Amino acid sequence: VAEICDHPCETACIRNRIDGPVAVNLLEKATIDFARRKTPNNFNMPSRGKTVAVIGGGLSGLGCALRLSNNKYEVTLYEASDVLGGQGRTMMDPDAFDAEIKNQFQFEKTQFRTGERITSLKEIRDAYDAVYIATGEGGERFGLAPSDRGAFATEEDGVFMGGGILGRTPVEALADGIRAAVAMEKYLKTGLMNEPVPNTKTRIRMRMEDLEETTPVHPASGDRFTEEEAVAEIARCIRCSCDNCIKACDILRLKAKTPKRIHEEVYITIRPGTLSRDGTWATRLISTCNQCGLCKEVCPQHIDLGGFFADAMKAMHEKGAMPWAFHDFWLRDMEFSTGEASVCRMPEGTEKCTYAFFTGCQLGASDPRYVTESYGWLRNHYPDTALWMTCCGAPAEWAGDVKLHEVYLEKIRKEWDMLGRPTVVFACPSCRKLFDKCLPEIPGVFLTELMAKAPDRIRDEKTQQKFHLFDACAGREHPELAESVRDLLRKEEIDYEEPEYGAKEARCCGYGGHIGIAAPNFTGVVQKERAAESELPYAAYCVNCREAFAGKGHEALHILDLLFDLNDQGREMLTVSKKRDNRRAAKRAVLKEFWNEELPMEERIDLEIGAELEKKMSMRQILNEDMEKVVEYLEKEQRGVLDPETGTITGHLKIGNMTYWAEYIKKPEGGFVLVNGYAHRMNLEGE
């Protein structure tokens, strides 16, 4: 093959676009030159009991005969001339050609009948189970022509045709013979001649930005590589494959699954072939996608695997097959954020506002001052800006609960109308992404865009620390977000390094999709990998990213910390209870500072919870107030069980779908100390 090939693959090589093709033909020759073993395999297999005639002993006929002989069909090859090879003999040393043919056929029982011209196809067809016509350019066709019945098929049953007789080049003729053997074997087994016509065009679309320029290797001898030269040239090959998404997507990479495999597993889960409709094959896999959109971004065909996962989640929720525990906490948290913790206000004396600052549910949860300082800045620059503290509904979207999500979307539409349909100022990239998808009628702008465009600075001096800028994956569809963040950092003289992956290919921090409950180990690996991308402290413009990195012990700040000098880079990840308390504090603070309203402090029992126990409960999405409700219920109803040896009281209470257990002791001076708290999904009968 190497000696007769005109190497069309080199013309197609993607490296032609930058530095020259990989020398595939020379590499093939080097492979033969330096091969330690050149003897073909010898498989001890019984005869198939089927006979095949190959008419023509050129490259195509030899290729077909060898492949069928390897598979133990009884092959007889007829060649009109006295020697085998056709064009192949003229393209290399005849003696070397004969030696190679002898080598390849040494273990086969192929009959070669040279000097025998076939004049009657009928006689041959009657004597053999299948026939391959490979008589070469201008050769005898026996009145037949290619048929559309299948690959290499003719109008006559059992008769196939290919090679130079169809205008093929020498190497194409050889390939025809090998492929025709596959079609003929199918016929010999099934009687069918409908083997699909092979597609020789690739559908792979490589991304040029992944290519690095290299120097082609030229053999010092002029026509043959040395072993060292071959190794150097092989290194230039990037092994083209359709795997951009597998390299980029955390699920595909860490789960070692191809998109096709993902599709199969998800499909049999949402449409199981059982009467019970209880498919659970890929339930956790469906709940592991963080909806970052990177797969679609890196795919040359823009296949949206994340959208497929989202549709699968909705299908699983609709038929009640998705475990509620995967998203129950976040749905309860959304209810709190859109209820008790929400604010939707215009400045006093304003009937219609130009902007409305949409904080989302996590900005104030991370630090109430993120809301007060940002809103204060907006009021100073745009006095009629409204404050809109609520959740965008992402937890319902990620849980696949279409009906619940629509309830929250309708609430947002009504509040937007009430505010006079202003342009929404977003602090959270995820909120903007969801608005784009579900509320496209609402115009938006990012907080950092307004800050970057303002003539005045926020900070008074340059920072001494350099930061690693981490782009938010939810902002990949809005390049203006990443640009405004960089403009703002330069304007405020905050030194930073660029991330390895730009904003369009930003990797998720592990928060998206609320996958932490369904796939905690996977989430931990993703967060650990992202946190290890730089030794510098991180500067993020998504609060969820900051929390994720802090949770892995990596120093991280939100850019609002830098702009308003709020927190230092060593701040730990907050517990779920602290985040909920911060939302309440944010609401009290904004109402006091901007509307001069005092909110009464909520009445809560005196339950002391140690820092380590609170962190432990937070990892399991257990709120301090859940434990307070359990203790309050047990004390009121006298349902606790006292351990006389330890003095602890233990009991449970079902809140929503979860059953919570508290183990606590009473303090002599009043109040309680929580010793342990946990939860499970079981219902206790008789409650």
Look at residue 300 and tell me if it is in a domain.
yes
Q: C-alpha angle with apex 463: 459 to 466, nearest 5 degrees?
A: 135
Instruction: To the nearest 10°, report the CA torsion of 524, 530, 535, 541.
Output: -110
- Measured distance CA(678)–CA(687) in Å, rounded: 18
In DSSP terms, which residues pair with 469 in a beta bridge?
539
536, exposed or middle or buried, with CB in 10 Å at 0-12, 13-18, 19+?
A: middle
Q: Is residue 3 part of a domain?
A: no
Tens digits of residue pLDDT in 411-431: 999 999 999 999 999 999 999
d(CA 576, CA 547): 11
Locate the DSSP E strands across 80-200. 111-114, 130-133, 159-161
> Are 67 and 186 within one domain?
yes
Give the gyration radius of the chain's Cα atoms.
36
Q: In the chain, what is the straight-line distance between the N-terminal and C-terminal CA atoms, in Å? A: 79
User: What tokens were used for 426?
Assistant: 């977003």
Residues 308 and 429 in one domain: no
Domain count, the chain: 5
- Residue 449 in any domain: the answer is yes
Return the closest-CA partner of residue 249 out of 555, 573, 513, 547. 513
Question: What type of residue sits at position 399?
Answer: A
Is residue 525 domain-shared with residue 415, that is, in the same domain?
Answer: yes
Closest CA to 206 of 298, 307, 131: 298
Verify that 306 and 421 share a domain, yes or no. no
Q: What is the pLDDT of residues 24-81, one digit of tens each?
A: 999 999 999 999 999 999 988 999 999 999 999 999 999 999 999 999 999 999 999 9
364 and 412 share one domain: yes
Same structural domain, 581 and 465: yes
Write the DSSP assignment of 390-447 as a string of letters.
S--SHHHHHHT-HHHHHHHHHHHHHHHHHTTSPEEEES-HHHHHHHHHH-TTS-EEEH
139 and 174 in a single domain? The answer is yes
Question: Which pLDDT score, from 0 to 100, does residue 278 have?
Answer: 54
DSSP labels, 527-560: HHHHHTS-SSPEEESSHHHHHHHHHTT--EEEHH
Q: Which of 592-615 are b and which e, b meaning 16 or more Cβ less than 10 Å from the residue's Cβ?
A: eebeeeeeeeeeeeebebeeebbe
**Of 514, 564, 238, which Cα lies nearest the Cα of 380?**
564
Type of residue at 190? T
Q: What is the pLDDT of residue 275?
A: 44
pLDDT tens for each residue of 261-279: 999 999 999 887 654 445 6
Residue 597 lies in a domain: no
* Residues in the chain with pLDDT values less than 70: 273-279, 686-687
Do 350 and 441 fall into the same domain?
yes
Percent of the chain with pLDDT over 90: 87
Dihedral sign, Cα of residue 556, residue 561, residue 565, residue 567: negative
Residue 56 lies in a domain: yes
Give me the chain's average pLDDT, please.
Answer: 94
Helix (H) or strand (E) holding 70: helix 59-70
Whether 40 is in a domain gets the answer no
**What pLDDT is attached to residue 685?**
73
Residues 157 and 250 in one domain: no
The Cα 466–Cα 146 span in angstroms is 70
- Assess if residue 393 is contained within a domain: yes
Domain limits for position 114: 51-190
Residues 90 and 67 sit within 8 Å (Cβ to Cβ)? no
The CATH code of the domain that includes 185 is 3.50.50.60
Question: Coil, strand, or helix at residue 161?
Answer: strand
Task: Note the pLDDT of residue 241.
Answer: 82
pLDDT in tens, 322-336: 999 999 999 999 999
pLDDT (0 to 100) of residue 277: 47
Boundary (domain end) residue, out of 589, 622, 643: 589
Q: What does pTM read for this prediction?
A: 0.79
CB-based burial, 422-431: b 16+ in 10 Å, e otherwise: bebbbbbbbb
Q: Are 159 and 125 in contact (CB under 8 A)?
A: yes
Q: Report the length, in residues, of the chain.
A: 687
Chosen domain end from 558, 589, 620 = 589
pLDDT at 276: 47
Instruction: List the one residue out of 666, 263, 325, 307 whose CA is nearest residue 514.
Output: 325
134 and 64, same structural domain? Answer: yes
Does a structural domain hold residue 114? yes
User: Which one of 267, 297, 322 terminates a domain?
Assistant: 322
Structure confidence by residue, pLDDT tens digits, 180-237: 999 999 999 999 999 998 887 787 777 777 788 999 999 999 889 999 999 999 999 9
Question: Which amino acid belongs to residue 313?
Answer: M
Q: How many CB atoms lie within 10 A of CB 211?
A: 14
Kindly state whether residues 580 and 621 are assigned to the same domain.
no
Strand partners, 557: 539
Q: How far apart are CA 594 and CA 346, in angstroms?
A: 10
CB 530 within 8 A of CB 518: no
Same domain, 580 and 563: yes
